[in-house]
Structures are given as structure tokens and as C-alpha cells.
Amino acid sequence: MNDKTIVEKLYEEAMKARENAYAPYSNFKVGACLLSDDGEIFSGCNVENASYGLSICAERNAIFSAVAKGKREFKAMLVVAEGEAPVKPCGACRQVMAEFGDFDVYLANTKGKIEKTRVSELLPNAFSPKDL
């Protein structure tokens, strides 16, 4: 698959995951799709909780799902939510992404606008396992 095809597939899967989001408090549904180095795809959505600190973002949901399947190396992630501008990951998600390297991150909205960045651009000078 070429880069355009990969991004299209990640967008499609992230949009599907977004539909499963549980967001009764914010009504802000987010979907994420993660591509492992070996080509496997893992999706995630945000899941809110009345005790808001127990909620999980779509990005971490996708990463934790991949890790549960033994994956540790990633090529790309796409994150999508409704809004005029492409959605941006929260600080906690940026730190979790940085734990697993500097991969491509595509930020998207539900209207199809997509911007490409990298983990290192989202969280410069991140604390990582290399610092230990």
C-alpha cells in the first residue's frame, strides 16, 4: 500500500471507531487508528466516565490495545473528531505516544481535512525510555 492508501484506510477505520465512542458528558466523539510496523491495524475510541479521571482517550485506547497484542513498534496513527480544524491529542496521549517512538501522526476532522505531523513535533523534548 502507498502512503495515500494507508492514510485513507486509517481514516476509514478511525471514523468507524469514533462511532463507538462513549461520550455522554462531553458529546465529543474521537476515533483513532494505529498502524504497527508489521501492518496490523488497531482502533480506539474515547470512553468517558462519570469520574472523569477514569476516562480514556481514543489514542491511548488504540495504543493499549496494540500493546495488549504484543506490538511495540508503530508506523502511524490517525486521530479524528468533529470540528473545523483537525483534532489534536491531549498531553497525556502525546506522552504515551512518545513512549513508543517517533512515528507519523495524522490529525483529522470528520470533513476529511487531514494534517501530517510526527510525535516529536507534538511533544518536543519528550521524556522517554531513552532517558532512563
Q: Is 47 annotated as a binding residue?
A: yes
49 is annotated as contributing to ligand binding: yes
**50 appears as a binding residue in the annotation:** yes
d(CA 43, CA 7): 14
DSSP 86: P
Is 61 marked within a binding site? no
Whether 93 has a binding-site annotation, put simply, is yes
| Residue 48, helix vs strand vs coil | coil
Active site residues: 59
Query: Which of 67, 62, 57, 76 minimizes the C-alpha distance to 117?
Result: 76
Mark the binding-site residues for Zn(2+), compressed into ranges. 57, 90, 93
Mark the binding-site residues for substrate, compressed into ranges. 46-52
Mark the binding-site residues, compressed into ranges. 46-52, 57, 90, 93
